[in-house]
Each structure stands twice: as C-alpha cells, then as structure tokens.
C-alpha cells in the first residue's frame, strides 16, 4: 500500500538505468513553463542544488 505524503514537495530519489533521478512537482514545472526535453543547468549550492533554465 502506498502512503500519501502530507507535504507535496517531498520527493524520493529513484533509480533510472545507471543513473538516479528525482521528479519535480507539476505545479512548479507549469509555473516555470518548463517542458519535457528542455535543457536545464544543475549546480551544487552548499548542501543543496540550484536548477535553472539553460540559455
């Protein structure tokens, strides 16, 4: 049985082939107008990450 998370912003890291991945909330993607196949830049910032649109 799957348990619903109370906080919609909590995500799990999952395995995807030889890589790891994480999903982003649909509401965030819609607000940023990010689409499937779009290129993004990922940077490490302290203990977190920053994801921005690739220009």
pLDDT at 4: 64
Is-contact 21 13, C-beta < 8 A?
yes
pLDDT tens track for 42-51: 999 999 999 9
pLDDT at 8: 76
User: CA-based Rg of the chain, rounded to a whole angstrom?
Assistant: 13
pLDDT at 55: 85
What is the share, in percent, of the chain residues with pLDDT greater than 90? 78
Cα–Cα distance for residue pair 13/16, rounded to 1 Å: 10
Is-contact 43 49, C-beta < 8 A?
yes
Is-contact 23 34, C-beta < 8 A?
no
pLDDT, tens digit only, all 55 positions of the chain: 566 656 778 899 999 999 999 999 999 999 999 999 999 999 999 999 999 999 8
């Amino acid at each position: 049985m799957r348990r619903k998370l109370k906080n919609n912003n909590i995500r799990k890291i999952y395995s995807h082939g030889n890589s790891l991945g994480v999903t982003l909330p649909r509401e965030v993607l819609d607000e940023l107008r990010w689409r499937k196949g779009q290129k993004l830049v990922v940077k490490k910032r302290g203990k977190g990450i920053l994801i921005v649109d690739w220009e």
